[in-house]
Amino acid sequence: MKLLTAKPYLEAKKNSLETRIRNLKARGITPCLKVILVGEDPASMVYVEKKRTTASTLGLEAETLKLPSTLSVSELKTLVDHLNADPKVHGILIQRPLPPQFKENEVLEWVSAEKDVDGLHPMNLGRLAQGNPKFISCTPRGTIELLEFYGYSLKGKLCAVLGRSPIVGRPLSQLLLYKDATLIQVHSRTANAQELTRQADFVFVAIGKPKFVDRSYLKPGAVVIDVGIHRLPDGKLIGDVDFEDVKDHVSAITPVPGGVGPLTIDSLMENTILSAELAATPV
């Protein structure tokens, strides 16, 4: 069984990202990412800090705007409008979950599609569905790039996606279609889920249930991408897949931690650099 870890991929890619940043800086442009954190969700605070430090280490300008959970809808909208209008800002990310006064789908439309480095604006999701992507949502993009780095081609392959959230499952399925894969989309109302996913060469799991997927969902030799992240009371991280149960059954699997998580952040960096490059390109 092969462990599909993110580290070798990120090391191989670092040089090309740094070169793109240097080229932009030589033209007087520093790619700039603004991350908006509303409230004090502990997991979000960790993710946001990781995004900021990764960006700073790479040479991007990055700032986290920390706002109280009592922030009003109009105050957040005003802030996003201000960032949309600032030509020095190339990427805007609003960290989820948001406090209950916000409707997430509505907020996703506030960030300009040109600065939507999270790839979740309906325009960017629509472009992906149309087969003409620009900013691809970060987690789906990271998973596919990792597989390609390890030499897998998805063309013509049967891929099962467990989960259909707007953040992971749906854009991932669209991206797989874009990559010429054939798709089985499974969700909580799917009948005979195991029977369906057992046919697949590649199984992507994003259901938000710790250790839920065992070998009964997988054909022998399948390649498994575990998107799930759950923190146990002792601080240990685990995925949606029961790693111990499947490890001798599959041919390859992404570990948790050290698999999909770092790729999501890497995709965010790349989308921010892309946004700066596009903004600097004469139309």
- Continuous H helices in the chain: 7-26, 42-58, 73-85, 104-108, 122-130, 138-149, 169-178, 193-197, 243-246, 260-280
Task: State yes or no: residue 193 binds ligand NAP (CB under 6 A).
Answer: yes
Rounded Cα distance between 223 and 239, Å, is 15
As a whole number of Å, the CA-based R_g of the chain is 19
Nearest-CB residue for ligand NAP: 165
Task: State yes or no: residue 119 binds ligand NAP (CB under 6 A).
Answer: no
Q: Binding residues for ligand NAP, how many (CB under 6 A)?
A: 25
Q: Which stretch binds ligand NAP (CB under 6 A): 58-66, 100-108, 129-137, 161-169?
A: 161-169
How many CB atoms are located within 10 Å of the residue 1 CB? 12
| Residue 172 near residue 159, CB atoms below 8 Å | no
Grouping H, G, I as helix, E, B as strand and the rest as coil, residue 73 is helix
How many CB atoms are located within 10 Å of the residue 116 CB? 27
Task: State yes or no: residue 10 binds ligand NAP (CB under 6 A).
Answer: no
Q: Which stretch binds ligand NAP (CB under 6 A): 105-113, 123-131, 182-190, 274-282?
A: 182-190
State which residue, 79 or 271, has the beta carbon closest to ligand NAP.
Answer: 271
Per annotation, catalytic residue among 51, 115, 174, 201? 51
Binder among 38, 261, 266, 275 for ligand NAP (CB under 6 A): 261
Query: Taking CB under 6 A as the criterion, which residues in 18-47 touch ligand NAP?
Result: none
In the residue annotation, 81 being an active-site residue is answered as no
Task: State yes or no: residue 275 binds ligand NAP (CB under 6 A).
Answer: no
Rounded Cα distance between 70 and 231, Å, is 27
State which residue, 162 or 181, has the beta carbon closest to ligand NAP.
Answer: 162
- Rounded to 10 deg, the angle between the 7-26 and 42-58 helix axes is 60
Binder among 36, 167, 172, 276 for ligand NAP (CB under 6 A): 167
The catalytic residue positions are: 51, 95, 118
